Amino acid sequence: MNKAELVDRVAECMEATTAEAQRFVNCVLDCITEGLKKDSAVTLVNFGTFAVRARKARTGRNPRTGQAIQIRASRTVSFRAGKALKDAV
At residue 76, the pLDDT reads: 93
Domain total in the chain? 1
pLDDT digits (tens, 9 = 90+) for 10-21: 999 999 999 999
pLDDT digits (tens, 9 = 90+) for 36-80: 999 789 999 999 999 999 999 999 999 999 999 999 999 999 999
At residue 39, the pLDDT reads: 79
Q: Does residue 88 lie within any of the structural domains?
A: no
Q: Does residue 26 lie within any of the structural domains?
A: yes
Q: Does residue 35 lie within any of the structural domains?
A: yes
31-59: b (≥16 Cβ within 10 Å) or e = eeeeebeeeeebeeeeebebbeeeeeeee
Give me the domain span that covers residue 63.
Answer: 3-82
CA 89 to chain centre: 18
